[in-house]
Structure 1
Amino acid sequence: MQTTSSKTVPHGASTKDGNGATYGFLAYLIWGAFPLYFNALKPAGAWEVLSHRIVWTLVVCLVALAVTRNLSFLRRLAASPRQLVATSLAGLFIAVNWTVYIQAVITGHTVEAALGYFLNPLVTVGLGVVVLRERLRLMQWVAVGVGALACVYLAIDYGRPPWISVVLALSFASYGFMKKRIGGSLTAIESLTAESAVLTPIAIGVLIVVGMTGNATFNGHGTGHSVLLLCAGIVTAVPLLLFAAAASRVPLVTIGMLQFITPILQLLCGVLLLGEHMPIARWIGFAIVWVALILLTIDSLTAGTRARRLARAAENCAI
């Protein structure tokens, strides 16, 4: 009778997973500290910050691609109208996300912005149902329902819908949807380069208008302020590349668990470091959102465990 030998872990696999988790943690840690960075850019307005972010991100990406001799992808992208349109739409969605987020931070609404990224997984699931006609499991329906309840509760508490949170969640979920349509044909830095290239002419136009109206802050607020604006490209590109390195090394479930680091840190930045007021009633609203996220996480872990069990069973049957 043939016996099955125990599986050995591939050499370096545990190290690879460990490195991947570290890369993911660092990416979400940097994103979580963004409120402090954007708050430090005052008195620059959201449009000026956004424009510098786009322009210098493109510069950083082009330099990195030139060093690695990988600029030829631009010709491939230009030769594929469908992919070019999808990339352009992705760039527009992330530009909306960046603009609203920066405006939220510099106007003292970091906590409401953090809520948007807590809501993002729930909105992504909802987008899958509406756009992709995906079928949800019972636990996913419950999670989405609890998330909707939280939005209604917070709208009553704010005296208005939490527009900042909703727009951030919708724009980022839409960005993720377009990235899924693009697929794996572009690496993380290639995709960011293409998105920045699409937006750069608009960004340059905005900078010209800001300068003509006398609202530009790049040259009039000291060397430190100018350097901080110049660093916008590095600040944007580094966490994205760390995230790409993590996503290629660790399971999706791990990435899903790590993603909550960012809104938690953003919330703490808003309340503890930027002095934003958080009444008890609002904490209750956030708690309802967290219940929805816990349900979604449990469902994801359960589904992942079930899929691995079925895969092992199929493999054993094959043996």
Structure 2
Amino acid sequence: MHPTPPRDPEAVKGVTFGLTAYTMWGCFPLFFALFDGVPAVEILVHRILWSCLFLVGLITLLRRWPPVVAALVEPRRLGRVLACALLIGFNWGMYIYAVETRQVLQASLGYFLTPLVNVALGMLVLREVMARLQLVALGLASLAIAIQFLMLGELPWISLLLALSFGSYGLFRKQVPLDGLSGLFVETLLLFPVALIALAGFSWKGTSHFLGDTQTTALLIASGVITALPLMAFAGAARRLRLATLGFLMYINPSIQFLIALAVFGEPLSPIQLVTFIMIWTGLALYSWSAWQSRPGQLSAR
């Protein structure tokens, strides 16, 4: 018998961090469902405000100000960072709206579609050459969306907007030389003034829910903290694992959302929707297999 090779402790830590991050993201619907009667726009405003304030303390504690300052003093960098900020803000808002209106299945579908949107953007924008299996995967996803449109008479617009906004965010984010923590802080910092103005508007109109009752106020503040915590875990995973390994773990997030939509929120799943989900899952399996085959030794640390 051949001795079992020892496990790489850094890879094990990376997988643990990755599982933690994607599990937390997957459980987000349970958190945002706790807001009773608070509009999605107001939740988004507080998510931006409290994320930014929480990250100030975190970056100070970790002594990570140099890359932030370097980004802020170079206006050339801020154009792409602003694009990232607008896209992630839009994505957050759409996601909160999906949870509030009990359309978590559509949100789940959107994040299942995101890797395939990345493939499409890579071809269209970056002129990347895709493997045959990746093209088949993209074709299956496109066919699934077409079937939903033809058979159900409507586009899954929440899914498409979530996938397109997050896929585009990833495209711009690749071009910004900032780590995840610093990048998120600069993005929220750019949105901070707009969020403050919106908060002042809610207060002036008398529609603000902040300080209205203890539970809602605590939830609004906590929305910023839960934004940063999975990102920290993800950063720990990204430093220790290869990209394809992270890609496999990523499917945990929409899978948990899918189960929550059915088991907790009781959302209906029509046969047509089930067929289209299966087509997209098949496409993701082909895409993952292609990515795995092209990169040997994915579970080893960098």
**Residues 1:66 and 2:98 aligned together:** no
CA distances 1:162-219 after superposition (whole Å, capped 9, x unpaired): 110000000001110111001xx32221111100000011111122222333322222
**Residues 1:287 and 2:281 aligned together:** no
Letter in 1 for 2:90: V
Partner of 2:143: 149
Partner of 2:192: 200
Letter in 2 for 1:63: G
Partner of 2:112: 118
Distance 1:207 1:158 in 2: 39
Distance 2:91 2:41 in 1: 12
Partner of 1:170: 164
Stretches of structure 2 lacking an aligned partner (at least 5 in a row): none
CA distances 1:8-39 after superposition (whole Å, capped 9, x unpaired): x8xx9711100100000000000000011111
Match of 1:40, SS state, is: coil
Partner of 1:258: 249
Distance 1:106 1:197 in 2: 26
Partner of 2:210: 218
Partner of 1:232: 223
Letter in 1 for 2:29: P
CA distances 1:53-107 after superposition (whole Å, capped 9, x unpaired): 0000001110012223333434311222221111111111101101111111101
Which one of the candidate residues 176, 183, 202 is aligned to 1:191? 183
> How far did residue 271 of structure 1 move?
1.2
Distance 1:244 1:45 in 2: 31
Distance 2:194 2:174 in 1: 25
CA distances 1:246-284 after superposition (whole Å, capped 9, x unpaired): 011012221111000000101111111012111222111
Letter in 2 for 1:202: V
In structure 2, do the counterparts of structure 1 residues 215 and 159 end up closer, same or farther at CA, with 3 Å as the change threshold? farther
Distance 1:254 1:70 in 2: 27
TM superposition outliers: structure 1 runs of 4+ over 4 Å: none
CA contact (8 A) 1:47 1:206 kept: no
Partner of 1:91: 85
**Residues 1:248 and 2:239 aligned together:** yes
CA contact (8 A) 1:126 1:144 kept: yes
In structure 2, do the counterparts of structure 1 residues 152 and 188 end up closer, same or farther at CA, with 3 Å as the change threshold? same
Distance 1:94 1:171 in 2: 7
Q: TM-score, normalised by structure 1?
A: 0.88
In structure 2, do the counterparts of structure 1 residues 201 and 16 end up closer, same or farther at CA, with 3 Å as the change threshold? same
Distance 2:64 2:107 in 1: 36
Match of 2:65, SS state, is: coil
Distance 1:126 1:42 in 2: 38
CA contact (8 A) 1:20 1:248 kept: yes
Distance 1:247 1:73 in 2: 18
Match of 1:100, SS state, is: helix
Q: TM-score, normalised by structure 2?
A: 0.93
Partner of 1:15: 9
Q: CA RMSD in A?
A: 1.6
Distance 2:200 2:150 in 1: 41
Letter in 2 for 1:255: L
Distance 1:253 1:162 in 2: 28
Q: How many residues align structurally?
A: 294
CA distances 1:96-153 after superposition (whole Å, capped 9, x unpaired): 1011111111011111111000000000000000100111111111111111001111
